[in-house]
Amino acid sequence: MGHRERVQLMVGDWMQRLISPGKGYVPCPRKLQMFVWRLRHESLVVCANLMRRGLKLDQSKCFFCGRAEEDGAHLFIKCKHVKQAWRELGMEEERSRLEEFTSVHAMLDALWGFSEKKRVLVITLWWQWWNIRNEIREGELAPGVTETIRRVRCGALEYAERFVPKKKDRQEGKWRPPSADELKVNLGGAFIPGSSFCGWGAVIRDSTGHIIAARAGRHEQNADAFGAEIQAMAGAVALAADIGAVRVIFETNSQLLAEALDVRKTDSSPYAVVIEDIKLQLKLWFARHRYAHADEVRIP
Ligand SMILES: [Zn+2]
C-alpha cells in the first residue's frame, strides 16, 4: 500500500469516527470536523507549522498579542487573549487542564473526555478564533471577546439542534391540547442550506384539537435555519393576532428561538430588530402568551 493510500485510509477512519454517532462524534458541520482533523494532524497553517515546512515568514508572532511565536497551543490555549475568551465562556478550569498537555494528540484526547456539550463549545470557540485570526491577518478588525463568545454559544446551540442524533428511547412527544381558555399555535420554519429563502408554517388549535386557522409562507433573503424559525414565529404571531386570539401558547421545537424570545435577554444577533418587534407584538396583542418547547411533537 502506497503512502497516499495509507493517508487516505487514515483520513477516512478518522472522518468516519467524527461523522458517525458514537465515541468521537462531534455534532457540528463538516467544515468544523475538517478543522478538528487538521488540528489533530497539525496541518493547520499556523506560523509554526509553515516555518517547520521551511517557509520564511516576515511575521511569525501571534496575531493577537504579537509576543509569542504562533503555534496551535499558544493560539488556542495559552495566549492571554484566548484565555479571556475561555473565561468568558466559563471554562477556565477546562482550559488550564488542556494547557498541561504537551502534544496535540494527548490534548485532543483529553478534550474527548469532556462532555459532548463542552467539547462542541471548545471546538466552536477554536473555529471562531481561527477565523478571527485570519481576519486580523487580512487587516480586518477583530470583534470583541463578548461578541465572539456570543457567536460561539449561538453556533454550538445550533449544532446541537441540527446534529445531535435524537435519542430513540426518549419518549416521542405527543401533542397536548391547550386549556379551554387558550389557543395553541404550533410553528416551524424550514431552510435548505445554500438557498436564499425559507418556508414556514403555523397552525392554531383549540382545546379540542380542532384547527382554528393555519398559514404558511415563504420569506426571501434568509440565510440560515434560525432565520427560518424567526420568520415562522413572526408569521404565527400575525396569524394569532388576526383571528383575535387572547391567550396563546406558541409551541416550537427550536430551543434557539425560545431562548431568543426570552424577555430577560437582549439579543444582539443580526435578527435583533425582528426579535424585538416580535416581543413587542406579543405584548400588544395578547393578554397572555407563553412558549412551549417541544421535541419532535407529533401533531395529530
Ligand atoms: Zn498571543
| 219 shares a domain with 84 | no
- In a domain? residue 86: yes
**CA of residue 217 to ligand 1 center, whole Å:** 48
**CA of residue 92 to ligand 1 center, whole Å:** 17
- In a domain? residue 173: no
Q: Model-level pTM? A: 0.53
| 237 shares a domain with 199 | yes
**CA of residue 40 to ligand 1 center, whole Å:** 20
**CA of residue 126 to ligand 1 center, whole Å:** 14
| 156 shares a domain with 16 | yes
Q: What is the reported pLDDT for 21?
A: 44
**CA of residue 265 to ligand 1 center, whole Å:** 32
| 103 shares a domain with 240 | no
**CA of residue 25 to ligand 1 center, whole Å:** 30
Q: What is the reported pLDDT for 93?
A: 95
**CA of residue 71 to ligand 1 center, whole Å:** 9
Q: How many domains does the chain have?
A: 2
Domain closes at, from 133, 163, 193? 163
- In a domain? residue 77: yes
| 147 shares a domain with 26 | yes
- In a domain? residue 170: no
| 199 shares a domain with 80 | no
**CA of residue 84 to ligand 1 center, whole Å:** 11
| 132 shares a domain with 52 | yes
**CA of residue 77 to ligand 1 center, whole Å:** 9
| 248 shares a domain with 157 | no
Q: What is the reported pLDDT for 170?
A: 45
Q: What is the reported pLDDT for 249?
A: 92
| 203 shares a domain with 134 | no
**CA of residue 69 to ligand 1 center, whole Å:** 8
Q: What is the reported pLDDT for 30?
A: 80
- In a domain? residue 269: yes
The domain of 147 spans 8-163
Backbone phi, psi, residue 187, to 5°: -140, 160
- In a domain? residue 169: no
| 207 shares a domain with 112 | no
Q: What is the reported pLDDT for 18?
A: 45
- In a domain? residue 134: yes
| 215 shares a domain with 129 | no
Domain closes at, from 163, 191, 222? 163
Domain closes at, from 131, 163, 195? 163
**CA of residue 76 to ligand 1 center, whole Å:** 9
**CA of residue 100 to ligand 1 center, whole Å:** 17
CATH of the domain at 233: 3.30.420.10
| 135 shares a domain with 22 | yes
**CA of residue 280 to ligand 1 center, whole Å:** 44
**CA of residue 142 to ligand 1 center, whole Å:** 14
- In a domain? residue 268: yes
The whole-number mean pLDDT for each consecutive block of 10 residues of the chain, a chain of 300 residues, reads 55 48 65 82 74 75 90 91 95 94 82 87 94 91 90 87 61 76 89 82 88 85 84 93 91 80 68 87 88 60
